[in-house]
Amino acid sequence: MELGNGRLPSLLGKLKFPIVLEDVTAEEVAEAYNVIREATIDLVAPLATEDYVVQSCPEASPPKWHLAHTTWFFETLVLEPLLSGYEAVEPLYKMLFNSYYESVGHYFTRIHRGTLSRPTVAEVMFYREQVDKALLEWIRSIPADGWAEVVSLIGLGLQHEQQHQELLMMDILANFAANPMNPSYHTLLPEGSYNPVADIEWLSIPEGVVQIGYDGVGFAYDNELPCHGEYLSSAYIANRTVTNGEFLEFLNAGGYSAPLFWLSDGWRWVNEHGCHHPRYWRQVDGNWFEFTLFGLVPLKLDLPVSHVSFYEADAYARWKGLRLPTEAEWEWAAVNLPITLGGLLEYGNHRGSDESERQIDGNSRYSTDQGNNNAYTNGEGSKYGVDNNESNKHRGNIYRAGPVTGPPGALLHAIGGVWEWTRSPYIAYPGYHPPGGYLGEYNGKFMNAQYVLRGGCVATPVAHIRPTYRNFFQPESTWAFSGIRLARDES
Amino acid sequence: MELGNGRLPSLLGKLKFPIVLEDVTAEEVAEAYNVIREATIDLVAPLATEDYVVQSCPEASPPKWHLAHTTWFFETLVLEPLLSGYEAVEPLYKMLFNSYYESVGHYFTRIHRGTLSRPTVAEVMFYREQVDKALLEWIRSIPADGWAEVVSLIGLGLQHEQQHQELLMMDILANFAANPMNPSYHTLLPEGSYNPVADIEWLSIPEGVVQIGYDGVGFAYDNELPCHGEYLSSAYIANRTVTNGEFLEFLNAGGYSAPLFWLSDGWRWVNEHGCHHPRYWRQVDGNWFEFTLFGLVPLKLDLPVSHVSFYEADAYARWKGLRLPTEAEWEWAAVNLPITLGGLLEYGNHRGSDESERQIDGNSRYSTDQGNNNAYTNGEGSKYGVDNNESNKHRGNIYRAGPVTGPPGALLHAIGGVWEWTRSPYIAYPGYHPPGGYLGEYNGKFMNAQYVLRGGCVATPVAHIRPTYRNFFQPESTWAFSGIRLARDES
Amino acid sequence: MELGNGRLPSLLGKLKFPIVLEDVTAEEVAEAYNVIREATIDLVAPLATEDYVVQSCPEASPPKWHLAHTTWFFETLVLEPLLSGYEAVEPLYKMLFNSYYESVGHYFTRIHRGTLSRPTVAEVMFYREQVDKALLEWIRSIPADGWAEVVSLIGLGLQHEQQHQELLMMDILANFAANPMNPSYHTLLPEGSYNPVADIEWLSIPEGVVQIGYDGVGFAYDNELPCHGEYLSSAYIANRTVTNGEFLEFLNAGGYSAPLFWLSDGWRWVNEHGCHHPRYWRQVDGNWFEFTLFGLVPLKLDLPVSHVSFYEADAYARWKGLRLPTEAEWEWAAVNLPITLGGLLEYGNHRGSDESERQIDGNSRYSTDQGNNNAYTNGEGSKYGVDNNESNKHRGNIYRAGPVTGPPGALLHAIGGVWEWTRSPYIAYPGYHPPGGYLGEYNGKFMNAQYVLRGGCVATPVAHIRPTYRNFFQPESTWAFSGIRLARDES
Amino acid sequence: MELGNGRLPSLLGKLKFPIVLEDVTAEEVAEAYNVIREATIDLVAPLATEDYVVQSCPEASPPKWHLAHTTWFFETLVLEPLLSGYEAVEPLYKMLFNSYYESVGHYFTRIHRGTLSRPTVAEVMFYREQVDKALLEWIRSIPADGWAEVVSLIGLGLQHEQQHQELLMMDILANFAANPMNPSYHTLLPEGSYNPVADIEWLSIPEGVVQIGYDGVGFAYDNELPCHGEYLSSAYIANRTVTNGEFLEFLNAGGYSAPLFWLSDGWRWVNEHGCHHPRYWRQVDGNWFEFTLFGLVPLKLDLPVSHVSFYEADAYARWKGLRLPTEAEWEWAAVNLPITLGGLLEYGNHRGSDESERQIDGNSRYSTDQGNNNAYTNGEGSKYGVDNNESNKHRGNIYRAGPVTGPPGALLHAIGGVWEWTRSPYIAYPGYHPPGGYLGEYNGKFMNAQYVLRGGCVATPVAHIRPTYRNFFQPESTWAFSGIRLARDES
């Protein structure tokens, strides 16, 4: 599946993880590198210097940490081991900007990242420039026998950078939301009109053995591998995600004070943290508001509920007498049913640029194996405050998932919009083996006590997501752009 | 599968959960009730009054709490709703001995159970007697139209009591182990001879769709339902569990200080708790000992390692380049391969009574579906300090899992011995619906952030376990008699 | 000052700390030892075995721990160092029952004392018997040159045992209060009549240099030494302590939700612990009750408020526009003004025995230095539910401080009744030097972040208290029988 | 006593707290206001924008918070209540920059101040400018009948601002010390020569009643009032503070692992925090360094030890067989003995300006009451890295207390250098009454569980300190420039 042909570098379509790449040119690598690294800088452009420094909660990191850590990846994991004679810009950065790689050495305590005023933003920018310069020079002189390994690592570094682009948006939102000044990342856009939110439809999932996991020729993370058989019982999945208005019904029905709808751990979470609404909802004088990247705005009932925990998603589903889908159900539906796109982060578009229409195609396995039912429609997208149906411009705004509209019979906004909690714990696929060395720490060691989310969100770079992509968070996590799609058993 | 025909009440073979029972007599119910309730009292017979009171760690409960809580189950969930005019022995017990049933009302804080000196042991025993008397009188006068529901609930109460029999042994061990006086529950038995520990064999699991979950006509918990299809990739499972000696190699190789063998959460657990050996191992002057129900004894290298966490089991497996089995793999093997029994708790036998030979049969589905490969051999059992091969007496001692010996080709001590960690998170089976009311809280609300263990242990009542049984604990838990059986992918 | 001539052993009047004693006989020592050790056993007589085991809060200890620890004092600090050839009853007790003496070696974690079921109560009683026997045999054979040291240490051990007699009552109350069963230590006694609670009078304290600290010839703790000059400004001290009814006015006036009456740390304490009434008050259906050693009884408005923290005492005083006295003011008043006694623990009397009238005299310094203004009146005592003015029997019941009645012009219930918080931090007197060795750990190392309380309470042994006695607790502590006496500056 | 005649505004000498002022002109107020407010800005001049934002430990605050909070004081406590029609620059600041005044309303959680990126530094500077402008305009138009109150409050606001000047230096040091980059606030100055550290002399304190507390005509805080009698026993106080080298002996002698030298709470602090050296000492390859405002520099043995806790100070004193002085002893000595000055913060001098000689005189009471023994000598001051004896320039550098040199018989560096822990808990003086309203929260509510420090330090503004000044911190606090002066009893 290819998303976003526009400014998307061709390299990304050729990456494969963890095996190596050969058929790309240095120019292709340099172009991809420049585009993606610049996109990161575009994202932080609206920030004041002070905004780069703070860490309002343990799960967030200061924006300048992301800028440095993504650079650290290229310096420590690519340049230092592979470029003979390379000298680190600042030796301490190896420790300071290591996130969690035990095989690389010690690292600074995560929860204290926000206590560090130095290096300054300017010093971090200098770090980025120095590493970029060294890498781009080097890339043009690599001998053929090392080429494949280098390019594969750079490609992984770029995927990694894209993950941090989404984290940047999550963290900026978390930081701003914790500030009584209610700062906004972006001014509220004028609102267009859009079609009504789609009615709920239950899309059928047939019983049988299906293939789950990535088997394409492009890039996928190790945790999407290997493609393997799973047995599905017959079930149904909802065509769209749950709206704010629907979730408000749960809240108003006393959902947050009814233990029987909650997992035991979830009920403890509710009580220990005094949860009684989604993380970014605020009630002021009886009216509901939502804190967003536009600042504090009235809660719009037709938008998908966002930033809910797995516990909240699960409790909501139980209250409805339903359940969350498994990740296999979700993946089958996303591959085999018509889908539309919600908003996604596209390079440039968050600055308001035009965007051409595009056609989404499945990857080879999907189209080959499943026949022609894979006719993705154009998504009407996330138009919260911005889109209109005529021009379909700005479809992919990255600030807030828009209302889920679209044609009948499709898995609407399956890709983009909000991440969708599944009921599947994040574990290894059968036959999974983590790669050796530090790469083995990338995903494998987190396969415990987390749940899989699928589909990407408005803050996910358009070229980064695919139907087999497995995101994962702890069940109490509300920090991602996470929402709810329901499923039900064959009754 | 029937285990322990000896003193096993016939009722237990007829129970089915959650549906109702009709074809049992009041006498059968009374016999089962008496046998199982008395067995609980037998277990606490070696205790001093003070031993009933303490709670040495948050996960344990005072023994007298177990005696009261199991009685509470019959009083609050059976007598009060169903026996008109029944008056509670003491109204406060409804709150004090409610474990976690939100639908029943408030309950006393779990971690403070050990702060309560009242009711005294004698008062708890009086409570048991009063409830027993009321229930046994009533059971003989129930009209036919209410019979099935009553008997089903009593049957569940007896299964529940059996679970607490195992918990009693876990808690007594935990409490004694936390006491510098090193008290012992039982004097060390004279040691017999036994065959050498079996060599590791890798038993083959074929690829394909299998049926997982209970489909027999007897009792099973709701979490074993429904029986459903799962797809297995081809793999191998070890014929026996890991020994103390093998685990000591991991320890001596620096396993507890090598982060790359551990899940990220596991590595945090190791460091925050300063773990560097299994919970009940002690090193004294360079020699390893193990705290057991016999008190502190030298570590025996040929016994199965016990009381390890999931994190330790998983790290050990990674260190070996292997993995833990999934619960589906385990269940398939236990149903379809020859198995032997480890020690199990049998009524009377922990007091040293003889025990007749017995034949283990699969339930109907297994024998019907899978043909004749279900030839369970007689287990040689747990003989730590007690058994000998000739007489096979005392096989099921309940104090410490014995060495795993047995014939080639069999899944040795699959049932009994130690609980075996699987790599499967504890989640609902496809199509699972928790029952309504308080029964829905029995299992369903704990389906989060825990792992499934299979097979039972020396402290599991013999009539309580079956191949489809799903036990579950948090990955850091070391309080159960939990060990390690390895698996590996088809390479 | 001598209190309780009745069964009080003559030894106690001759003890002096930390210097040595010579003029007592072995029989005197044996008599004192027997009386005081037996008094401890009398106190625990109403307990069930289970009651000896639990520790309901970190500050309390299990009753059996007190029984063992006081014995440990004699074994470890007296017999082992001084009696050649003495063998410990159980070597592990040295660690298990060491409270906090670093110079003696490791000790078991205080907050986990309630997790230990062994040694059992019977084993602890055996320990007491063995040590008693060894000590009493030995005491009759000590050569003259070691006599003084031995007797001084035994005397200290007996003072220590008396402190633990009070702690036993505090801990039993705390444990019972934490139990929803509301157990009672003693049945509620029939209530007698008594005079009305005394009206508040303000007793004048003149300006000038006074001598503070012990300078008598009897026993005093090191922290009462040396007697030294302090300068008092003129002030007033209340003739009696604050009643429940008066404190209830503070509560009803919103005192617990008005930050300006509280110290900053106190306000945090109020909010973090959700304090809104004294520790043992309970509100049931709008009516106030108090948990006491009689169980839960209606709150009596004319009793002195008890079990309040320093923070509560201080906030109450501020709300009244007043303050707490300093310990020097208190001591001056207790020595120089007429005083009466509240209830105190007397050996035997808690079992209801008669008690003869007695005359209280000051110690030499007070009577010599201060002339004849030291005319202590007979206290009318604590009659809560028991006393009457005619017979003055049972005056010193140990269960709950009684109403403060008495003649005008006297510092009523200055000794006994409730401990009285002073505004004085617990620090060393000028010229104080802690004794060497483990004795230096007895008091000196706790001189930080605590406040001094004066006067003793109903649970203080009658022969243990004196006007110079300095008790001390953390300001948040509510576990002692602590109340409030007010003072005010010369206006 | 007047310190720093140079740029010191005349207003400061005329302030009196809490009573009102009348004999100053608007120009005097404006001058004082401008000088002190500008001095704050001078202090933050070396910071990068990022340095204003972080809070590396709970006790510190972000520098920009100090800039805003001191402004809040003038806006919320002066302009809003007294200047009719004044409109707040930003209403939210009232809550955001309230430190702890319950009477003013809610305030933002202290420990989360470092999570706020907004308002930005520029916005805070704008806030300062707006408030300064409003206040300075207003001050020139106040009618005579309100003049005294206004000026008194402004005066208090300026004293408050000076306190935060010191806090700024403490917090910048704490933040930089927590950063592995080892940033420096100031480049290390070239080191001059100086006289050898003075030998220890024991200065005699006679027995008798002394007057303690402020009775001058200038400004003092409420906690220095009233001047009152105290009785001193005869004792000795050391002429100088303890050096790094002397403290290192304690460390090398195992002081941090010897429980008997520590208060019980101190020993717990040592173990829970793993303390084994003063907060800013670092050991690198066996060599000791100290983190200072110059960055990480080799530990200089002849400098006074700084940034030690009360626990460390007290343990050091016990190890020496000595003790800390009481605050009354300290004050008597500072008033009645010749003293010299250590470095102090003078406006301008931290930027390297010249400084004229100055003469320190006692306030009227001291010179009148005590005769002519109050001949303060010129301090040789803190010359660490900067001073030389000839020119005595830069004496008051604010970065690190310099070596204590000086003539015999004097209390050297009694004022300036390091704050000196006393053994006196921070409590109210006899007759103390906190002022009403929010002023009552300034000092009074913190009179619990803290110790008094005396004398000021290199970061204390020169015009802010006096011999009666009472600083206070929790005993575990190491964040101030706190050192050790010893005392001993008459032996």
Token pair for residue B79?
Answer: 């007598």
| Residues from B in contact with C at Cβ < 8 Å | 48-57, 64, 92, 95-96, 108, 112, 114-121, 175, 178-181, 183
Say whether A178 sits in a helix, a strand or coil: coil
Strands (E), A322-441: 339-341, 411-415, 419-425
Percent of chain B surpassing pLDDT 70? 84
Radius of gyration over every alpha carbon of chain D, rounded to an integer in angstroms: 22
What is the tens place of the pLDDT at every residue in D399-449? 899 999 999 999 999 999 999 999 999 999 999 988 888 888 999 999 999
Report the candidate in D457, D459, D453 with the shortest Cα–Cα distance to residue D474.
Answer: D453
Q: Is the pLDDT of residue D476 over 50?
A: yes
Over residues C435-469, the pLDDT tens digits come to 888 888 999 999 999 999 999 999 999 889 999 99
Please give the average per-residue pLDDT across D128-143, as a whole number: 95
Contact call for residues A339 and A410 (beta carbons, < 8 A)? yes
Please write the tens of the pLDDT for every residue from D16-63: 444 445 578 899 899 999 999 999 999 999 999 999 999 999 999 999
Q: Is A414 exposed, middle or buried (0-12, 13-18, 19+ CB in 10 A)?
A: buried
| Band (C219; pLDDT cuts 50, 70, 90) | confident
Q: What is the DSSP letter of B461?
A: B
Cα B262 from chain centre: 26
Residues facing residue D473 across a β-bridge: D451
CA pair distance C456, C443, nearest whole angstrom = 17
Q: So what's the pLDDT on residue A149? A: 86
DSSP-derived letter for residue B413 is E
CB C260 within 8 A of CB D103: yes
d(CA C262, CA C264): 6
Q: Which long-range contacts (CB under 8 A, 24 or more apart) does A428-431 make?
A: A428/A223, A428/B423, A429/A212, A429/A213, A429/A223, A429/A224, A429/A225, A429/A226, A429/A228, A430/A226, A430/A228, A430/B232, A430/B233, A430/B235, A430/B326, A430/B489, A431/A226, A431/A228, A431/B233, A431/B489, A431/B490
In angstroms, the CA A280 to CA A294 distance is 12
Question: Distance between CA atoms of D2 and A148, rounded to whole angstroms?
Answer: 76
Query: Can you read off the two tokens belonging to residue A70?
Result: 């993504």
CB atoms within 10 A of CB A389: 13
The Cα–Cα gap between D310 and D291 comes to 20
User: What is the secondary structure of B26-66 as a DSSP string?
Assistant: HHHHHHHHHHHHHHHHHHHTT--GGGGT---STT---HHHH
For residue A205, the cross-strand partners are A235
DSSP B345: B
**Counting one residue from B and one from C, how many pairs have CB atoms under 8 Å apart?**
100
Q: Inter-chain contact D49–A54, Cβ cutoff 8 Å? A: no
DSSP B490: -
Q: Is the pLDDT of residue C106 over 70?
A: yes
Task: Look over chain A and give the mean of its residue pLDDT values, rounded to a whole number.
Answer: 86
Spatial neighbors of A16 by CB under 8 A, at least 6 apart, are A152, A217, A218, A219, A220
Q: What is the dihedral of CA B71, B74, B75, B79, to 10 degrees?
A: -160
Contact (CB, 8 A) for C388 and C452 = no
For the record, the structure tokens of C475 come out as 């300001």
Give the closest-approach CA distance of A249 to chain D in angstroms.
32
Tell me the C-alpha distance between B367 and A363, whole Å. 44
> Across D369-484, where does the E strand assignment appear?
411-415, 419-425, 451-454, 471-473, 482-483
| B231 with A230: Cβ contact below 8 A | yes
CB contact under 8 A, A267 and B233: no
The alpha-helical segments, DSSP class H, found in D261-339 are 264-272, 310-319, 327-336
Give buried/exposed letters for A31-54 (b at 16+ CB in 10 A, else e).
ebbebbbebbeebbebbbbbbbbb
Cβ contacts of A52 on chain D, cutoff 8 Å: 50, 117
Mean pLDDT of A246-272: 97
Q: How far is D285 from chain A (nearest CA, A)?
A: 17
In a 13 Å sphere around the CA of A14, the CA atoms on its Cβ side amount to: 17
Average of per-residue pLDDT across B61-83: 97
Cis, bond preceding B119 (omega within 30 deg of 0): yes
Amino acid sitting at position D84: S
Picking from A10, A24, A12, the residue whose alpha carbon sits closest to that of residue A148 is A24
The nearest alpha carbon in chain D to C310 belongs to D448
For C290-339, write each residue's pLDDT tens digit: 999 999 999 999 999 999 999 999 999 999 999 999 999 999 999 999 99
Mean pLDDT of all residues in D168-173: 98
CB B9 within 8 A of CB B461: no
Is the pLDDT score of A456 beyond 50? yes
Distance (Å) from the C-alpha of residue B157 to the closest C-alpha of chain A?
A: 21
Give CA–CA dist A309/A451, Å, rounded.
10
Contacts of A64 in chain D (CB under 8 A): 50
For residue A410, the one-letter residue type is A
Report the pLDDT value the prediction gives residue C347, as an integer from 0 to 100.
56
Q: Write out chain D residues lying below 8 Å of C423, CB-based.
A: 427-428
Q: Give the pLDDT band of residue D347 (cuts 50, 70, 90).
A: low
- Least confidently predicted of A215-219, D252-256, D384-388, D470-474: D384-388
Cβ–Cβ under 8 Å, residues C352 and C385: no
Contacts of A among chains (3+ CB pairs under 8 A): B, D
- Residue linked to tokens 């344990």: B60
Q: How confident is the model at residue A485 (pLDDT cuts 50, 70, 90)?
A: very high
* Touch B-C: 3+ C-beta pairs under 8 A: yes
Tokens 């027995």 sit on residue: D207
Residues B222, B442: contact at Cβ < 8 Å?
yes
Average pLDDT over residues D348-373: 30
CB contact under 8 A, D449 and C265: yes
Q: Do C50 and B53 touch (CB under 8 A)?
A: yes
Q: For residue A204, give every residue at least 6 positions away whose Cβ sits within 8 Å of its Cβ, in sequence order, or none.
A: A234, A235, A236
D301-333 pLDDT per residue, tens: 999 999 999 999 999 999 999 999 999 999 999
The predicted-structure confidence for C390-443, as pLDDT tens digits, reads as follows: 333 333 456 899 999 999 999 999 999 999 999 999 999 999 988 888 888 999
Q: Which residues pair with A291 in a beta bridge?
A: A296
Q: What percent of chain D has pLDDT over 90?
A: 74
User: CB-hemisphere CA count at 13 Å for C318?
Assistant: 24
In contact, A154 and A26? CB cutoff 8 Å: no
Identify the residue with better confidence: D348 or D209. Answer: D209
Q: Which two tokens stand for residue B459?
A: 């402290």
Note the pLDDT tens digit of each residue in B189-207: 776 777 899 999 999 999 9
Interface test with B, best of A99, A260, A269 (most B CBs within 10 A): A260
How far is C-alpha A226 from the geometric centre of its chain's CA atoms? 21
Sorting pLDDT into bands at 50, 70 and 90, what band is D9? low
**DSSP secondary structure, A202-270, as one string:** EEEE--EEEEES--SSS---GGG-S-EEEEEPPEEEEEEEPBHHHHHHHHHTTGGG-GGGS-HHHHHHH
For C198-286, strand residue ranges (E) read 202-205, 208-212, 228-232, 235-241, 281-284
Of B48, B115, B119, nearest to C117 by CB-CB distance is B48
pLDDT tens, C80-93?
999 999 999 999 99
In chain B, the largest separation of any two C-alpha atoms, in whole Å, equals: 67
CB C453 within 8 A of CB C339: no
pLDDT in tens, B379-437: 333 323 233 333 333 334 578 999 999 999 999 999 999 999 999 999 999 999 888 88
Q: Shortest CB distance from D117 goes to which of A51, A96, A118?
A: A51
Amino acid in position A257 = S
Q: CB D373: neighbour CB atoms within 10 A?
A: 12
Q: Name the residue of chain C whose CA is nearest to D425's CA.
A: C425
Query: In chain B, whose CA is at the least distance from the CA of A321?
Result: B433
- Chains D and B physically touch (3 or more Cβ atom pairs below 8 Å): no
Dist CA D368 CA D215 (whole Å): 12
Q: Once rounded to an integer, what is the mean pLDDT over residues A179-191?
A: 89
How many Å apart are CA A339 and CA A406, to the nearest integer?
A: 9
End-to-end CA distance of chain C, in Å? 33
Provide, as residue numbers in chain C, all residues whose Cβ is less than 8 Å from the Cβ of B49: 49-50, 120-121
The shortest C-alpha distance from B197 to chain C (Å) reads: 37
pLDDT-derived band at A114 (thresholds 50, 70, 90) equals: very high
In chain C, what residues touch B118 (CB-CB under 8 Å)?
A: 48, 50-51, 179, 181, 183
CA gap D217, B37 in Å, rounded: 85
β-pairing, B228-232 with A295-298? unpaired
D14 pLDDT band (50/70/90 cuts)?
A: low
pLDDT at residue A5, as a whole number: 38
